[in-house]
Each structure stands twice: as structure tokens, then as C-alpha cells.
Amino acid sequence: MSKKLLLQNIHIEGIRNYDIYRKNGGYTSVEKALKMTPDAIVEEVKQSGLRGRGGAGFPTGMKWSFIAKPAGVPRHLVCNADESEPGTFKDRYLMEHIPHLLIEGLIISSFALGSNHSYIYIRGEYAWIATILERAIAEAKQNGWLGKNILKSGFDCEIYVHRGAGAYICGEETALLESLEGKRGNPRIKPPFPAIKGLWERPTVVNNVETLAAVVPIINMGASAYAQIGVGKSTGTKLLSACGNINKPGIYEIDMTISVEEFIYSDAYCGGIAHGKKLKACIPGGSSVPILPTHLLLKTAKNETRYMNYESLSDGGFATGSMLGSGGFIVFDEDQCVVKHTYTLARFYRHESCGQCSPCREGTGWMEKILLNIEHGKGRMSDIDLLWDIQSKIEGNTICPLGDAAAWPVAAAIRHFREEFEWHIKNPVECLKRNYGLLKELVTT
């Protein structure tokens, strides 16, 4: 089993409550951090090698170092808790079961960045978790960890919870900031970047839940010790949301040195494919990253073992690789239809597009329609190349990454499973029979 840093106390009864959390070492990192300088904390996070755990994997300490510090202008830290990526639910688990870990990480990070007013922007559907967070913030403030002059350090900090309205697009940091300001959640054109002009045009850093929680063990154990966990540029531990056709779906904390094969088949993790079936494919980092077939999932293009880390999963680029992304690990067995699942994802991204960019607004709609026709036996062979052409015109041509997120699953599905698309087109009657059978089964059960 991998070393646990974020989930090591998750099993303790009552750990959600302040008193239990404090008795088990909670807030000791704040005590340590407030005796350091903000620059020293930023440097510690840099040296730890911590990468953003929300999807992009950008070095956290470097991101922090970009924040502008104009005299007399407030700065802000915003926690991105808008966890709306299909297949990803690790942040929800952290906030629900050990909310003070996030609060502790927020306090340290706010001090490092000079943010006296920090925010948690939480997905609207996480209503019960917002209540849990608000209770934890109240407990932290009651015990002197928030408010004026924390631990007589001269640092003031308040944390506020802001509930989103259920828009996936608000997981993009600039759309999140627009929403936090009370506007429609449309992504902004960059530059300027949030580190220069973010919330209310003030310097702002946006980090996700797991990233901020990871700051706690970094300060407690030191950057060098944290950096020794993992491998290469994939340091520390990573939370994964494992779901799909596996025996043991759930949240797992790994140190990114294990192989994909071990993660899927070991009893310590996913426990193998459900019902004794064979592995067909996997989406390793949430719905927006490319799907990988078995032969590339367990091996790289060079026939080397593929590991559960940033570098190995992306080995070969998008031609043969994928991304660790947000850690949403979705497993497909041999009976799953890639065309159907691709259509489901295309429908999701069409619905969630803000409509600001023409390639995304129009392209996602066309991809959904074409995939629906193919899935229901109405496709033409030319539709496959048309899909490829549409996704290529979306990727890289939009203000925010939602366009890429919509294009990549379609491109990877065609690249690796083109024969399935061709089968649907050549066997329209069989497609209709299968869809009718699935519908009938759903209705009768």
C-alpha cells in the first residue's frame, strides 16, 4: 500500500469535528507556518514539487510565485471546489470527511500569498458539503485559527464559502472568478492572468481542494521529505477516484510509483475487473482526457510498463498517451460500447458549453448529433472523418479548455476504436436491436 498523507486519519471516528481533528495533529502545520515568512512557505512548496491536483498538473509553488504584489492592493486565494468532471469525486470525499484539512491548507496558503479574504467556490450540487465546510470554518474561527491576528502573528484571515449554480464551465478558473463576482460564468480571455488581475481585478491564485490540502503535509514533514515520495516530477501522493467496471470502486491515495496494472488488479486498490470480465479500456484522468485501450494502458508505445503518474500516462503524447488529469479513473470492461460512451460525453460537453466561442458552441452540437446517429444505426462511413474534422477545428481554438475537453475524447475514441464506429455504420439493424434491448431492460428493472 502507498503511504497516506491526506487520508491517514480519515478512518478516525469524528475526525470531521474540530476537537478530534486537533487531537490528531490538526493545525500543527499552521503553527509552524506562521513562524515562517510567506516567501519561505512559497519556496517550500516549490521545493516539494507539488503539482496542481485539479487537472493541468502545473507546479503549485511556481504558480504562487507569479502573483503580483502591488502596494495597497488586496490579494485573494480561491479554492476551486467545483468538482464537476465526470468520473471525479475525490475532492468531495475530502471535504465531506475531513474538512479541517482543507481549512488548514487554506490558512497556510492564504498567509503565503498575503490573502486576508479567501474563498471556497463549491459546486452547487454539493449543498450538504457546503454546510459541513461552513461548520468547520466556524469551529476554526471559534478556536482562534481564523479572524484577526491569528496566533498573535499579525495575520488576519477570513474564509467564505460560495455556492455555485451547477455549471461545469465554472470549474475553469476565470469562469469561476466571473461567477464569484456575481456574473455569468463565462471564461475570460487571457492575458491578463488571474495572478495579475483576478477576483475584482485583484491579484488572485486559484487552486483546487486536493492541492491546498497537500500543503499541510508539506509544511509538517518538510519539502525534501515530501519530494522523496513518488518519482521524478510526480512527487507526493495523489488521490484517485476509481469507478466503472471494477470490483472495488472508491477513493485511493497512491504515491505514483505503482503501475496501472497493479492499480487495476491489486486487491489493495480496484480489485480487478468486475464479474471476471476482461479489461477493454480506461479513461485515467476524468472524462476530458483521452481514452486508452488495454494494450496502451498497461504498456507505453515503447512497450514499457505504464505507471500511475503524470509523465508515464502522457508518454507518447495524445497519439498513444493520455493524462493523469483530475484523477478520475474510469474503467471499461469488454462489453462496453465506446461509441455509446463517447456520445454520452459529447452530449455532456455540448450541454455544458457556455456558448461564448463559435467552434465550441457549434462543434459540440454537431459532434453530439453525428454520434447519436452512429449509435442508433443512422450513420454513414463519411461521418467518422467528419467527426475527426470537427474535433480538430475545436481543439486549440477556444478561449478556455472546455473545447479541448470536448474534442479529446472523440479524437481518442476514433484513433483507438475506429473499427467500432465502422461496425455501427455497417450493422444498423444490430445497433437498433441492441439499443432497444437495453431500453427494455432499463424499463423492466
- Alpha carbon of 89 to those of 94, 125, 211: distances in Å? 9, 12, 14
Q: Which CATH number fits domain 338-444: 3.65.10.10, 2.150.10.10, 1.20.1440.230, 3.40.190.290?
A: 1.20.1440.230
Domain ranges of the chain: 18-228, 234-333, 338-444
- Write the DSSP symbol of residue 305: B
Q: Give the H or E element holding residue 125.
A: none
Location of C-alpha cell 487554506: 106
Q: From first to last of its 445 residues, what are the pLDDT tens digits of the chain? A: 568 999 999 999 999 999 999 999 999 999 999 999 999 999 999 999 999 998 788 999 999 999 999 999 999 999 999 999 999 999 999 999 999 999 999 999 999 999 999 999 999 999 999 999 999 999 999 999 999 999 999 999 999 999 999 899 999 999 999 999 999 999 999 999 999 999 999 999 999 999 999 999 999 999 999 999 999 899 999 999 999 999 999 999 999 999 999 999 999 999 999 999 999 999 999 999 999 999 999 988 888 899 999 999 988 887 888 899 889 999 999 999 999 999 999 999 999 999 999 999 999 999 999 999 999 889 999 999 999 999 999 999 999 999 999 999 999 999 999 999 999 999 888 877 776 555 444 445 4
| Sheet with 292-293: strands ordered across | 250-254, 238-244, 328-333, 279-283, 292-293
CATH of domain 234-333: 3.10.20.600
Measured from the Cβ of residue 71, the count of other Cβ atoms closer than 10 Å reads 4
Say if pTM beats, i.e. exceeds, 0.85.
Answer: yes
CATH class of domain segment(s) 18-228: alpha beta
